[in-house]
Amino acid sequence: MRRVVILVAAALSVWLIMISPAISAETTQQNADPQASKDSDRFLQALKIADLPEGKQILSKTAWKLEKLPVLMNHETLFEGMFDSDISGLRGYKRLLQVSLQSKAGTELKKKYILISYKDHTSGTWKVLSFRESADIEFEYNAAKKRKDEIKSGQRDELQFNYRRYAFWASLGGKLQEALDAYLKAAELNRANPSFLSQESFDEDVRIMQRIIGKKGKQ
């Protein structure tokens, strides 16, 4: 009888271990803003038909900026949830995915991607700020911040791209006020010393961050 009890207890323990990831995933999804999750789903579905007018139209409404978007074939959500920013009351949404992408040669590539979105308070839509291959955001942020004033190539216009890179990683990590300040600095540097990238591209970065922050931060 004692042996039977032990066996039953062991089986129960194995079952609990097996279902615990499912419980955790369900809790994570419950913690995600439903509208943020829904708008991200729309963005991902649109990527699959990005070559069609309907796909382009949806992407224009669910992404802050349309550039360097991959051709998405399939995806699986591994994690989704919210994160705090440096602006009181303003949160971001992130999703980690296993994706199948179409390469330039037409072959299938399997990668892990991360999606970061913030709410557009004008339209009420959660828009994707970045959809890219997964990376250690905090590491990249610290590295970019450390190197923002370095000029390695001897080119003066390198500074604005340093600040732009620093702002980008700051924004993905929820450091929105810091990102806005860095984007403003990058735009100022490019205005004083124009680079191959248009001034409008730098100014657009500033406008996007201002719209994300809204009236909550200092402009």
pLDDT, tens digit, 9 for 90 and up, residues 118-164: 999 889 999 999 999 999 999 999 999 999 998 876 666 689 999 99
β-pair type (126-133, 108-119): antiparallel
Query: Could you tell me how many residues make up the chain?
Result: 219
> In degrees to the nearest 10, what's the CA dihedral of 41, 58, 164, 145?
-10
The C-alpha atoms of residue 164 and residue 154 are separated, in whole angstroms, by 18
Q: Whole-number mean pLDDT of the chain?
A: 85
Report, as an integer, the average pLDDT of 47-55.
91
Question: What's the confidence (pLDDT) of residue 71?
Answer: 85
Lowest-confidence pick of 6-10, 133-137, 145-149, 168-172: 6-10
> In degrees to the nearest 10, what's the CA dihedral of 149, 150, 155, 159?
-30
Q: Looking at this protein, which amino acid is placed at residue 195?
A: S
Do residues 187 and 204 touch, judged by C-beta distance below 8 A?
Answer: no
pLDDT, tens digit, 9 for 90 and up, residues 73-113: 999 999 999 999 999 999 999 999 999 998 888 889 999 99
Question: What's the confidence (pLDDT) of residue 216?
Answer: 55
Give CA separation, 185 vs 26, 86, 91, 165, in Å. Answer: 42, 19, 24, 12
The C-alpha atoms of residue 194 and residue 163 are separated, in whole angstroms, by 14
Please, what sign has the CA dihedral across residues 17, 23, 37, 176?
A: negative
Report, as an integer, the average pLDDT of 211-219.
73
Percent of the chain with pLDDT over 90: 70
Do residues 62 and 127 touch, judged by C-beta distance below 8 A?
Answer: yes
Question: What's the confidence (pLDDT) of residue 114?
Answer: 97
Give this prediction's pTM.
0.81
